[in-house]
Amino acid sequence: MVKATVIGAAGGIGQPLSLLLKQNTLITDLALYDVVNSPGVAADISHINTPSVVKGYLPPDGGLEKALTGADIVVIPAGVPRKPGMTRDDLFNINASIVRDIAVGIAAHAPKAFVLVISNPVNSTVPIVAEVLKKKGVYDPKRLFGVTTLDVVRASTFVAEAAGQPTESLKFRIPVVGGHSGVTIVPLLSQCDPKVQLDQATIDQLTNRIQFGGDEVVKAKDGAGSATLSMAFAGARFAAAVLDAASGKASSVHEYTYVDLDSEAGGKDVASKLGGNLQYFSVPVTLGKNGVEKIHPLGGMSEYEEGLVKKAVADLGGNIEKGQSFVAKSSNL
Ligand SMILES: NC(=O)c1ccc[n+]([C@@H]2O[C@H](COP(=O)([O-])OP(=O)(O)OC[C@H]3O[C@@H](n4cnc5c(N)ncnc54)[C@H](O)[C@@H]3O)[C@@H](O)[C@H]2O)c1
Ligand SMILES: O=C(O)C[C@H](O)C(=O)O
């Protein structure tokens, strides 16, 4: 039995993500929570003849508690998206408290669940969840993930296009490390598998496109939000990876995700190579029964990529601190 809960299930990401999770046959219970419309989304999705039983929950009558109780995995796309001209950090003022309050619910009702944070700014919302879980005495860094899979998905697509093989994007695997906003997103094109020969101008252009791919969608949607469908795909893919590893369905699951480097999974080596005391970074991980089993080194980098990492580290420190001090200043915990 595997219960998956989506918080923010009626939103632009939440609906297609819930649809994709309904197709995951490892999931037996799918709980859809939102502050609006979740019963309708649940009724609709529940007619699909895959194994999971779907229920929708709203805030009255303990909806959050019911949605979370017994959850093995909680995916959080709740909160507001960007409009043109905004940075992800501009969402902090609204989304920080939304994510904090959801984390309080997780601490009380699903303390052992894998928690997958999609809500932006991910660089800060993941530390917010961690600090709440720490305050409540239930924090396990191996079970908390910032979802950065969309950056990895974009990198494959854009590199395949640049290599003149747009229909072969699944074949191109590119590590993307760091955080999830602008220059904190660091594609390691030199490690592309299979190798691609790119001149420096193309590397510059691809790096910029991967770092600012989110802006491309925000601009195209012209005020109607940010990436939802590609994010749902990426979120469902990452959730499936976590569940495949936890259930033993797959023996070696390798992903990139924004995690606490200070876990038993071996992130301290990465942190010390990054210089300073950076606590969170998107890194290559092996997933296992209990979440992050091993954090791997970032691997060989070009001088150009080392420069990108330096810029990412400089920005990330402030983003992380902002999330941590928000929780420290929250008097209602
Ligand atoms: N990590 C990533 O790669 C990535 C990619 C795309 C979008 N995002 C982020 O995901 C978030 C959601 O984006 P969206 O386009 O789905 O937005 P949306 O506005 O379409 O949907 C958000 C949903 O969250 C719900 N919500 C608000 N407060 C809530 C609460 N307290 N509890 C439960 N639900 C609540 C809303 O009712 C809404 O249905 C944004 O912050 C966006 O920036 C992250
Ligand atoms: O760009 C955004 O604000 C949404 C998301 O983080 C993305 O990368 O598409």
Q: Pairing relation of β-strands 280-288 and 29-33?
A: unpaired
CATH code at 53? 3.40.50.720
Residue whose CA lies nearest to ligand 2 atom number 6 = 214
Task: Say how many Å lie between the CA of residue 124 and the centre of ligand 2.
Answer: 14
Contacts of 131 (CB under 8 A, 6+ apart): 323, 324, 327, 328
Average pLDDT of the segment spanning 286-308: 97
Task: Say how many Å lie between the CA of residue 182 and the centre of ligand 1.
Answer: 19
Cβ of 282 below 6 Å from ligand 1: no
Kindly state the percentage of the chain with pLDDT values over 70: 100
Owning domain of residue 220 = 149-323
Most ligand 1 atoms within 8 A of CB, residue of 226, 229, 258 to mutate: 226
pLDDT at 277: 84
Cβ of 75 below 6 Å from ligand 1: no
Kindly state the percentage of the chain with pLDDT values over 90: 96
Tell me how far apart the alpha carbons of residues 311 and 305 are, in angstroms, rounded to a whole number: 10
pLDDT band, residue 46 (cuts 50/70/90): very high
Q: Which of 15, 309, 38, 315 is nearest to 176 (CA)?
A: 309
pLDDT at 68: 98
pLDDT band, residue 200 (cuts 50/70/90): very high
pLDDT at 175: 98
Tell me how far apart the alpha carbons of residues 276 and 281 are, in angstroms, rounded to a whole number: 13
Quote the crossing angle between the two packed helices 149-162 and 229-247, to the nearest 10°.
120
CATH code at 157? 3.90.110.10
Report the atom number in ligand 1 closest to the C-alpha of 91. 41
pLDDT at 252: 85
Q: Identify whether residues 10 and 137 lie together within a single domain.
A: yes
Q: Identify whether residues 160 and 299 lie together within a single domain.
A: yes
ipTM surpassing 0.95: yes
Average pLDDT of the segment spanning 8-28: 98
Q: Identify whether residues 76 and 183 lie together within a single domain.
A: no
| pLDDT, tens digit, 9 for 90 and up, residues 77-133 | 999 999 999 999 999 999 999 999 999 999 999 999 999 999 999 999 999 999 999
Task: Say how many Å lie between the CA of residue 32 and the centre of ligand 1.
Answer: 13
Q: Is the model's pLDDT at 276 over the cut of 90?
A: no
Q: Which residue, 127, 147, 167, sits at the end of a domain?
A: 147
pLDDT at 330: 96
Tell me how far apart the alpha carbons of residues 11 and 224 are, in angstroms, rounded to a whole number: 12
Q: Which residue, 118, 147, 176, sits at the end of a domain?
A: 147
pLDDT at 265: 92
Q: Identify whether 242 is part of a domain.
A: yes
Q: Which ligand is nearest to the CA of 36?
A: 1
| pLDDT, tens digit, 9 for 90 and up, residues 145-188 | 999 999 999 999 999 999 999 999 999 999 999 999 999 999 99
| pLDDT, tens digit, 9 for 90 and up, residues 215-242 | 999 999 999 999 999 999 999 999 999 9
Q: Identify whether residues 127 and 255 lie together within a single domain.
A: no
Is 209 annotated in a binding site? The answer is: no
Cβ of 150 below 6 Å from ligand 2: yes
Q: Identify whether residues 27 and 168 lie together within a single domain.
A: no
pLDDT at 332: 81
Catalytic residue among 47, 180, 254, 296: 180
Cβ of 120 below 6 Å from ligand 2: yes
Query: Over the chain, what is the mean pLDDT?
Result: 97
Asked if 76 and 102 touch (Cβ cutoff 8 Å), the reply is yes
Q: Which ligand is nearest to the CA of 8?
A: 1
Average pLDDT of the segment spanning 43-58: 98
Q: Is the model's pLDDT at 251 over the cut of 90?
A: no
Q: Identify whether residues 291 and 307 lie together within a single domain.
A: yes
Report the atom number in ligand 2 closest to the C-alpha of 81. 3
Domain tally, the chain: 2
Q: Identify whether residues 191 and 100 lie together within a single domain.
A: no
Is 231 annotated in a binding site? The answer is: yes
